[in-house]
Structure 1
Amino acid sequence: MKKVFILFSTIVTLLLFGVQCTFLENYKSKKEKEEPYILDLNGIQNRGFIRAAVDNNSTGYYIYRGRRMGYEFELLRDLAKRLDVQLHLVLVSDIEKAFDYLASGQVDVIAFNLEESEERKEKAAFSIPLGKMNTVLVGNKNTPKIQAWEDLGTDTIYVREGAIYKSQLCAMKDSLQLDYTIFPTPDHEETLIDRVADGEIKWTIADQNIAQANATYYGDLNISWKVERDGEVSWVVRKNSTKLLSALNNWLEDKQKRFIPDLYAKYFLNSKNSYFRNTSPFSSLAGNQISVYDDIIKGGAAQLGWDWRLLASLVYKESRFDTVATSYAGAKGLLQLMPVTLERFGVTNPNDPQQSLMGGVRYLRYLDKFWLGRVPETSERIKFILASYNIGHGHVEDAWKLALKFGENTQSWESVSKYLELKSDPSYYTDPIVKSGYAKGHLAVNYVEDVMSVFDSYKALVEP
């Protein structure tokens, strides 16, 4: 009975959404008009970060050997640098949801390869094109080579919901009076390609660069038939973010000659690198390992009471998981301890990953005890610990005392960090309550932001 119900549901869904391209196509739910969310470039810069919607796939954004990678990720990182803000990434796989996030202010830019359409232009403002993209039909070794659209017969083509693919196929179907069925699904293009490769479905549609990247490890994909040639793709921002749009377009114009083509070659034209990034157990696309030291990192994190991915983020920031890394100041090992700290916390061989990591863990436990009474809330205290690890707890304590003197919330990292940044100002570092003197406190504040940013990425892309 259950199988009969599933079959019946599938047939009904196909009838509703697959057979008639125009059925329900023009239907739009009537919602009460809400006040538009307004935050342009000045507000973003005052806030200190830009939020970008990205997709977790083999080309957009992922973790490889602990490092954040991806075509869109590297573009966004460069854009954030140009705008002098931090980058906050929001993973969104549903295209329509990304537009909702943009409208409500949950993101400031959608960094997908989006083709313009009248419906999308009503919702958002398009940047100048990043480039041109072909759309291809994707089959497997058992599907026939397509010589003409009529060769598809009555086959079903599965497409990602919200993408431009459905309208492209509908236009072709209506103009040539064809019989194939279009089946929208929430699955991402790469998930649909997986299903094609496994023989679960016969056809899907994808941007050519995504199809080519997947073809590096699915050698029998059939991606020769182009659905659309050289469609321009762009990013989008809110329609009222005119200054952000202008800055985005200026940045794109500057990057079109070298930076964007070089990145494109890195992610789409090097099949060997693409294969390893997509199949390695140390890639969030294929496995759930950050580094070869995950087990000892998990053991150390358990002693701290931390999420192991937070400790992994700190190790990445300090040494990039290189056991023999040595800084210009003489810090060594996975957690880059100075010689005096190595000795104090019992590390005799800083190149031994177990010794080095556990020495760093003992130091972190010491810092945790130092701050526990002053900052009881764990998530806030962690930021004090990270800053202390970077610049020394004496400097952070000075900032804490300054915050206390000026009536700020001493249990809030946001409040105390302002005074840590002010420790390069003589009117603050010469204050009698300051014991450790001058410091480039802004570097420690940035350090905390960097570690927490990597941690956010690991949380999003790597299972606990």
Structure 2
Amino acid sequence: MAQRIIAFRLLLSIFLVIFASEAHSSSLPDRLITQLSSVEEFKGDFDAIKKSGKLRIIIPANIGGGRYLPRKGSPVSQQHEVAEAFARFHQLMPELIIVDNFSDMIPALETGKGDIVVGNLTVTDSRRKKIAFSVPLDQVHEKVLVSKNDETIKVVSDLNHKRVMVSPSSTFWESLNWLKNKKYKDINLIPRPSGMLDEEELDLLALGEIDATIRDSNIVEMYSGYRDDFKVAINFSGQRDIAWGVRKEAPALLNALNQYLQLEHLSEVNKEVFKGDFDVIKERKVLRVLLRNNASSYFLYKGELLGFEYEMVRAFAKFHGLRLEVMVPPTHKELLTWLVEGKADLAIGFLEPTKKREAMGITFSDAYNHEFQHVVVHKDDNLKSIRETGDRKISVRKSSAYWETLNKLSLIGMEFNLQAAPEDMETEELIKSVGAKKLDVTLADAHILDIELAKSVPVKSVFTIGEKREQAVAIRNQNLQLVTAINEFIKKNKNSEYYNILYRKYFTSRKSIKRLAKGRIENIDLNKLSPWDKVTRKYADKYGFDWRLITAQMYQESRFNPKAKSFAGAKGLMQLMPRTAKSVGVTNIEHPDSNIKGGIKYMDWLRDRFDKKIPISEKIWFTLAAYNAGHGHVQDAQRLAVQKGWDNKRWFDHTEKAMLLLSKKMYSSKARYGYVDGAEPVQYVRKIRERFEAYVKLKQNEVIQPVSLDLENPVISLNKFHDLDAQTEVNKLAYRH
């Protein structure tokens, strides 16, 4: 009997009170995150699971590794969100069990190291012999992927004599192996190395080092949302079911899962045009939102999705028990055209209600913000009035409210040189271009200008145009129920403590925007670099780092303030994010010793994620950059470095240059992890190196020196030395594994 396909859509618990204040950041976690190696075996059925108080959800470390900036939803993320919702529905704490290798998920389930497997798992006869499966969550086709310019594979037989890489534990391997044995014996079947990320395999494909690989269609769709260096050559299989795995000895759990999925009768929405009002949205349990990837709306910071408008709309979705699905249109123009076409339910981007926009079939909510439009020039420019612009060109996007403002001024007789900026260029990029003297003049809302001024971009506002402008949420004009719900939310939260804290966090707190104050290296006590030298030495030695480098990093993170708290919620001396702290086993993030241990342990984890071919003396700089910006952004920079002809195994003057480019839309739109203010990690690494070198020069009686000659597993310790500079010491760094 054909089973109804259930699309994975999250039902979140409804929160009656929204807390966003940093003062509430110590509240109970809504999930636990545990590495597989730390999990105890337990094989109970659903009654025993309910008594334990938690549901252990086995998930892959992530397809591609690390969290990424969603443009088209990740099937794995969507699935584990639904699994978390199931747990909460039964008053259980979701515990995500992180498994590094896909092939280890089913064995982990069988041995009792988890209760369900959630990982885009294809249902096969061989797997059914080992575990039970839920009702299907999706149906996919397997696709053969090739590099974007490859035209040599048109039918399955073309795989003969081709280098095809897939994981030996995958269904793809089974199919290819059968094909190789029965039909096309010259298929060069290459086992994907254990631990290799999807991104790395796609890189090999793009570089021509392999000819093909195979992926499920829903995963292909996710990657095609930001990569254009591969394409689908052919379909490799018919329709296959995707489901969750459960131990055969847990029939009650399986029954509860199936009931939950079927009774929720969730409908698939991400592939269709839909223009229903709020009552139907609540039935679908998904709110589709259009946002731009920029510093004020939506961005990725140390693995956390952040942004003023993202947090606002996430709170709205959470309040109504909806899963938030964010879509990032390629340009500002599509922000509204996609909404009108029914690809999303609302658009938010500090949008000003205008007659031109309303004529598109759009209505606007009540204003959630009011801003002046500032005329922005280089800090050395002496412009006094818009009438005096002379030969200066004013650059703004045609789709922006700024363009309409300037057009109105033109209609009443004001003369100036108006130039259309690219639609994919953010206002913050235009401001930076003015600061770099690449553009003469632009317009910007106050909050966007404040961010760039806090980053010391050399610009200034010379005057404002008109009164403060309303900024509101854009909604299709027939969706009056949704308008009412959003207006109620705005009325409740605007000018509240929640709103004010959120606004301060992103726009008015210089500390939040420019995370660290600049500090000169001076007056250092030669016998004591920080109050925590002893514990820093202890854990730096344990994990194979120079303690002075960690101390320099600590200063850069917190200026040795154990109570430091960042705008994003990072805490303590090493500015650990709560989720990161959990992942490395740190429970008391407020305690200096635990914070230092967690920061160094996280550095060790990051370091191990980089290619072993990167020289030891270089890997430390990549690790620091990843600590600051996230491993994913550094990975994007390495990939871009190769495309630019730079050495992606060297940081300074090579990969750091690529990192800087990721703040430009033409590059970030093709990056898996999206936009990043590349100047921050670049400066972060350079400042730490500068301070580290100063520490070395000031304390030239200490050096890292190997005490083991086992080159496969060298161990380091501190000893005395004379006349060795900082780079020599970095070259001596040896790593524990």
1:226 pairs, out of 464, 472, 485, with: 464
Question: Helix, strand or coil for the counterpart of 2:324?
Answer: strand
Cα distance change on mapping 1:326 and 1:317 into 2, 3 Å: closer
1:175 pairs, out of 405, 409, 412, with: 412
Q: Which runs of 5+ in 1 are unaligned?
A: 1-35, 280-295, 297-314, 328-332, 335-348, 362-456
1:325 pairs, out of 583, 586, 611, with: 586
Letter in 1 for 2:515: F
Q: 1:105 aligns to what?
A: 342
Q: How many residues align?
A: 280
Structure having the larger proportion of residues in helix: 1
Question: Helix, strand or coil for the counterpart of 1:228?
Answer: strand
Q: CA offsets, 1:204-263, max 9 Å, x none?
A: 111111011111113531113112321111111111211111101111110113122321
Letter in 2 for 1:119: K
Task: Check whether the contact 1:128–1:234 (CA below 8 A) recurs between aligned residues.
Answer: yes
Q: TM-score, normalised by structure 2?
A: 0.35
Task: Check whether the contact 2:296–2:506 (CA below 8 A) recurs between aligned residues.
Answer: yes
**Counterpart check, 1:206 vs 2:444:** yes
Q: 1:262 aligns to what?
A: 501
Cα distance change on mapping 1:234 and 1:180 into 2, 3 Å: same
In the TM superposition, 1:341-380 aligns within 5 A as 353=601
Q: 2:426 aligns to what?
A: 188
Question: Helix, strand or coil for the counterpart of 1:162?
Answer: coil
Structure having the larger proportion of residues in strand: 2
Question: Helix, strand or coil for the counterpart of 1:195?
Answer: helix
Letter in 1 for 2:388: D
Cα distance change on mapping 1:93 and 1:75 into 2, 3 Å: farther
1:88, distance to aligned residue in structure 2 (A): 1.1
1:353, distance to aligned residue in structure 2 (A): 3.6
Task: Check whether the contact 1:52–1:111 (CA below 8 A) recurs between aligned residues.
Answer: yes
Letter in 2 for 1:274: I
Cα distance change on mapping 1:350 and 1:76 into 2, 3 Å: closer
In the TM superposition, 1:36-435 aligns within 5 A as 37-92=274-329, 94-122=331-359, 123-146=361-384, 148-186=385-423, 187-258=425-496, 259-276=498-515, 319-320=580-581, 323-326=584-587, 353=601
Task: Check whether the contact 1:173–1:180 (CA below 8 A) recurs between aligned residues.
Answer: no
Q: TM-score, normalised by structure 1?
A: 0.54
Letter in 1 for 2:506: Y
* Deviating more after overlay: 317-326 vs 107-116: 317-326
In the TM superposition, 1:452-463 aligns within 5 A as 459-461=673-675
Q: For the residues of structure 1 that align with 2:386 and 2:304, how far apart are their CA atoms?
A: 43
Q: Which runs of 5+ in 2 are unaligned?
A: 1-272, 519-542, 544-575, 589-593, 610-670, 679-737
Task: Check whether the contact 1:115–1:232 (CA below 8 A) recurs between aligned residues.
Answer: yes
Letter in 1 for 2:301: Y
Q: Percent identity?
A: 19
Q: For the residues of structure 2 that align with 1:356 and 1:214, how far apart are their CA atoms?
A: 33
Task: Check whether the contact 1:156–1:181 (CA below 8 A) recurs between aligned residues.
Answer: yes
RMSD: 3.6
Q: CA offsets, 1:316-366, max 9 Å, x none?
A: 895446634239xxxxx99xxxxxxxxxxxxxx9998489969xx9xxxxx
Letter in 1 for 2:447: N
Question: Helix, strand or coil for the counterpart of 2:396?
Answer: strand
Q: CA offsets, 1:8-40, max 9 Å, x none?
A: xxxxxxxxxxxxxxxxxxxxxxxxxxxx95211
Task: Check whether the contact 2:581–2:587 (CA below 8 A) recurs between aligned residues.
Answer: no
Question: Helix, strand or coil for the counterpart of 2:462?
Answer: coil
Q: CA offsets, 1:115-151, max 9 Å, x none?
A: 12112112211001112111111111232232x2222
Q: For the residues of structure 1 that align with 2:323 and 2:275, how far apart are their CA atoms?
A: 20
Cα distance change on mapping 1:210 and 1:141 into 2, 3 Å: same
Letter in 2 for 1:134: F
Question: Helix, strand or coil for the counterpart of 1:276?
Answer: coil
1:203, distance to aligned residue in structure 2 (A): 0.8
Q: CA offsets, 1:253-276, max 9 Å, x none?
A: 101131223211221110121123
Q: For the residues of structure 1 that align with 2:330 and 2:339, how far apart are their CA atoms?
A: 14
